[in-house]
Amino acid sequence: MSDFPELARLPYTIRQLIVKGPTGPIDRIQPVSTSRHGLALHVYGTRQAVFLRATPMRSPDLLLYKRERSASLSLPLDAPAPRLLWTTAVDGWLVLAYELINDNADHAFLSPDPESLDVPLVLDAVQRLGKVLTPGTDERARPVFDLVTSMWAMANHMLNKAPTVLRGRDLFEDALHGFDLEALQGDTLLHGNLSPRHLRIKDGQVYAVDWSQACRGAAGVDPALLAPHFVEAGYSPEHTEALMASIPAWNELPAAQAAGLTALWTLARLYAVEHGHQVRRPEQTRLSDAGRAWLAHLLARL
**Could you give the CA distance from residue 151 to residue 299 in angstroms, rounded to a whole number?**
20
**Over the stretch 93-123, which tens digit does the pLDDT of each residue have?**
999 999 998 666 678 999 999 888 899 999 9
Task: For residue 292, count CB atoms less than 10 angstroms from its CB and return exposed for 0-12, middle for 13-18, buried for 19 or more.
Answer: buried
Task: For residue 17, count CB atoms less than 10 angstroms from its CB and return exposed for 0-12, middle for 13-18, buried for 19 or more.
Answer: middle
Q: How far is CA 160 from CA 149, 157, 200, 234, in A?
A: 16, 5, 37, 31
* CA 281 to chain centroid: 18
pTM of the model: 0.94
Task: For residue 226, count CB atoms less than 10 angstroms from its CB and return exposed for 0-12, middle for 13-18, buried for 19 or more.
Answer: buried
Determine the average pLDDT of the residues in 62-83.
97
**Over the stretch 33-55, which tens digit does the pLDDT of each residue have?**
888 999 999 999 999 999 999 99
